[in-house]
Amino acid sequence: MAKPVSDLRDAARRRLPRLLFDYIDGGSYDEITLRRNIDDLRAIALRQRVMTDISVLSMATTLFGQPMSMPLALAPVGFAGMYARRGEVQAARAAHAAGVPFCLSTLSICGLEEVVESSGGPVWFQLYMVRDRGFCKQLIERAKAAGSPVLLLTVDLPIAGARYRDLRSGMSGPGGAKGACMRAWQGMTHPRWLWDVRLRGGPHRFGNIPPQVIGEGGLGAFAGWIKNNFDPTVTWKDLDWVRSHWDGPIVVKGLLDPADARAALAAGADGIVVSNHGGRQLDGVPSGIAALPAMLDEVGGRVPVLMDGGIRSGLDILRVLATGAQGCLVGKAWAYALGAAGGQGVSEMLATFKAELEVAMSLTGCTDLGKAGRELLVL
């Protein structure tokens, strides 16, 4: 049944403890960029056309050697294994069933091997550069051994943006007895989640980050671990280092400026994702869709350009493709869906996106998404 993302968001808000809902839903500082992502996309008017033969629609594509039923991948989302029991496995199964790639976050609850084995399909892996290159190398080697076809290198988090909602909700503060009571209360007042995820969900620690790396504080240690271990010295030279350990495509995620797109290409990126990290890093920067045209001009078709930020419907997917990107990532939307109804929710969301995309293609007279361009927009 068609379920718009707004319904899934409402259901996730009801089902999840506040700290988890706010973690998915929130952005940094005043959340200006978070809102821009949605508003700027919706402000793009599609150009309706009629009396065209739209009996056969083609939306399948291939990106980085990966066949996809539509030009969409599930973006890396941290902690997804807390939104539903073994959440990343459920989401990856739903993605595979719908024929779209699933990208696992470094900060996932389920480890890469578990997700690959239990979902029965290839899983893209997202990497953060941490100071300990030995640990980075281990992650890359695990991704290779698990058969990950694509490495997504996130480069816009050498330092974390302040997420005030997380500080208020209990996700990254307050500490001590007050924080512990808040978190326990939120669990007790969401008994379905408590039973399904917390009590029956197996170990809740990061599946890709062993305790000897993050410390025995487990999930609660994440903000401190990120602060102390994400590497602020990273430059484009480090892409060479990643390349020396990884043979497959490297897609660089988190670029907004054409000068950085140029640098990424010079450093050998096989693709880029235009992204402001879902409005979760530097508040006040442009939306992904506003940044996209200049990025496309700079790249000039040399590598695929993907975009994320604010995509909540199949109509949004068409807006992004018509603007010129080759594909998009969705993060928040699938996290809401997972929080609302587990893997079934993610399947419903993907089915809804596909159905919406079909209607949007049909009523703009676009029969082949691969040929979508600015003629589909009222500019």
**Residue 87 interacts with ligand HOC (CB under 6 A): yes or no:** no
- Of residues 209 and 325, the one with the C-beta less far from ligand HOC: 209
Q: Report in angstroms how near the CB of residue 147 gets to ligand HOC at its nearest.
A: 23
Query: Is the distance from CB of 170 to CB of 186 less than 8 angstroms?
Result: yes
Alpha helices in the chain (DSSP H): 5-15, 18-25, 32-42, 87-98, 112-119, 133-145, 164-169, 176-188, 191-193, 211-214, 222-229, 237-245, 258-266, 288-299, 314-323, 332-364
- Of residues 172 and 352, the one with the C-beta less far from ligand HOC: 172
| Helix, coil or strand: residue 54 | coil
**Residue 107 interacts with ligand HOC (CB under 6 A): yes or no:** yes
Residues in contact with ligand HOC, shown as a per-residue x/- string from 168 to 207 under the rule CB under 6 A: ----x-----------------------------------
Rounded distance, CA 174 to CA 164, Å? Answer: 11
Residues in contact with ligand HOC, shown as a per-residue x/- string from 217 to 256 under the rule CB under 6 A: ------x--x------------------------------
- Of residues 152 and 360, the one with the C-beta less far from ligand HOC: 152
Rounded distance, CA 201 to CA 196, Å? Answer: 7
Rounded distance, CA 221 to CA 258, Å? Answer: 35
DSSP string, 120-188: TS-EEEEE--BS-HHHHHHHHHHHHHTT-S-EEEE-S-SSPPP-HHHHHHTSS---HHHHHHHHHHHHH
Q: Report in angstroms how near the CB of residue 110 gets to ligand HOC at its nearest.
A: 16
**Residue 95 interacts with ligand HOC (CB under 6 A): yes or no:** no
Residue 220 assigned as binding residue: no
**Residue 153 interacts with ligand HOC (CB under 6 A): yes or no:** no
- Indicate the residue whose CB is closest to ligand HOC: 160
**Residue 280 interacts with ligand HOC (CB under 6 A): yes or no:** yes
- Report the interhelical angle of 288-299 vs 258-266 (nearest 10°): 50
Q: Report in angstroms how near the CB of residue 278 gets to ligand HOC at its nearest.
A: 7
Please give the residues from 307 up to 366 whose contact with ligand HOC meets the rule CB under 6 A: none
- Of residues 193 and 206, the one with the C-beta less far from ligand HOC: 206
- Of residues 277 and 312, the one with the C-beta less far from ligand HOC: 277
Q: Using alpha carbons only, how large is the chain's radius of gyration in Å?
A: 20
- Joined together, the tokens standing for residue 106 give 């470094």
Residue 253 assigned as binding residue: yes
- Of residues 319 and 332, the one with the C-beta less far from ligand HOC: 332
| Helix, coil or strand: residue 317 | helix
Q: Report in angstroms how near the CB of residue 157 gets to ligand HOC at its nearest.
A: 6
Q: In whole angstroms, how far apart are CA 65 and each of 115, 238, 248, 249, 277? A: 21, 24, 10, 9, 25
One residue of 26, 78, 279, 324 binding ligand HOC per CB under 6 A: 78
Rounded distance, CA 261 to CA 270, Å? Answer: 11
- Smallest CA-to-CA distance from 336 within 32, 14, 118 is with 14
Catalytic residue among 96, 190, 204, 277: 277
* 204 annotated active-site: no
Annotated binding site for FMN: 76-78, 105, 126, 154, 253, 275, 308-312
Q: Can you give the binding site for ligand HOC, defined by CB under 6 A? A: 78, 107, 157, 160, 172, 223, 226, 277, 280
Among all residues, which ones are annotated catalytic? Answer: 277
